[in-house]
Amino acid sequence: GQNIDQPTEMTATEGAIVQINCTYQTSGFNGLFWYQQHAGEAPTFLSYNVLDGLEEKGRFSSFLSRSKGYSYLLLKELQMKDSASYLCLYNQGGKLIFGQGTELSVKP
Amino acid sequence: GAVVSQHPSWVICKSGTSVKIECRSLDFQATTMFWYRQFPKQSLMLMATSNEGSKATYEQGVEKDKFLINHASLTLSTLTVTSAHPEDSSFYICSAGSGRSTYEQYFGPGTRLTVT
């Protein structure tokens, strides 16, 4: 199947840390991406994981466990501008499969 | 990084007319481009895969006669919404890969279509 699942919405406080989880069907897996999308705009690339482990890039980190079909995006030192939709998607045999997105609201 | 442009960025058309949306890779060649549609507060939905020099591959439920895709060159793919109806109003986004790896998918800025 092409199932990919992430929470619909999350709320966090400015300066805090938030973890957005994503689970996916493992068949045909060829890499997992996280994108950030602000309302009315195209998605922008955040991270790419193809091997197990944690990839750190500034305030954002992404983790992958291929055997569990699980990934998370970790956002540290949250800022108001981080309020956006975060899309988990994976490459299944060359085709990108999108999750429904997690709407993150950062409160002061 | 690689840049993908779309034109127009927004368009309003009357019901029954056709609208063409262009997707261009500005500084790289893209043998494959993807077209997505996004309704408010929903995720992107893949409509079709556009292959240079061959017919597009449409996802299940997407009418190929209504959404015409032409990928005539390595830098341009077009999506034509024929006989548009209000329910076709949506945000249309394309993405393109440079071909070096499927990891490198670059998104266009999107086209907001409103059908009245």
Q: What is the pLDDT of residue A2?
A: 54
Contact across the interface for B46 and A100, Cβ inside 8 Å: no
Separation CA B100–CA B107 (nearest Å): 16
Tokens of B102: 């499927």
Interface of B with A in 75-114 (CB under 8 A): 91, 93, 95, 102-103, 105-110, 112
Contact across the interface for B105 and A100, Cβ inside 8 Å: no
Residues of A in contact with B103 (CB under 8 A): 31, 33, 48, 50, 91
Query: Who wins on pLDDT, B112 or B97?
Result: B112
From the candidates A37, A55, A64, A85, which should be mutated to test the interface with B, based on the most B CB atoms within 10 A? A37
Across A9-13, B35-39, B50-54, the highest mean pLDDT is recorded for A9-13
At residue A80, φ and ψ (nearest 5 deg) are: -60, -35
Separation CA B85–CA A104 (nearest Å): 32
Instruction: Give chain A's contact residues with B (Cβ, < 8 Å).
Output: 30-31, 33, 35, 40-45, 48, 50, 87, 91, 94-96, 98-101, 103
Separation CA B71–CA B79 (nearest Å): 9
- For residues A80-101, average pLDDT: 87
- For residues A1-12, average pLDDT: 85
A20-68 confidence digits (pLDDT tens): 999 998 777 778 999 999 988 888 889 989 899 999 989 999 999 999 9
Q: What is the pLDDT of residue B104?
A: 63
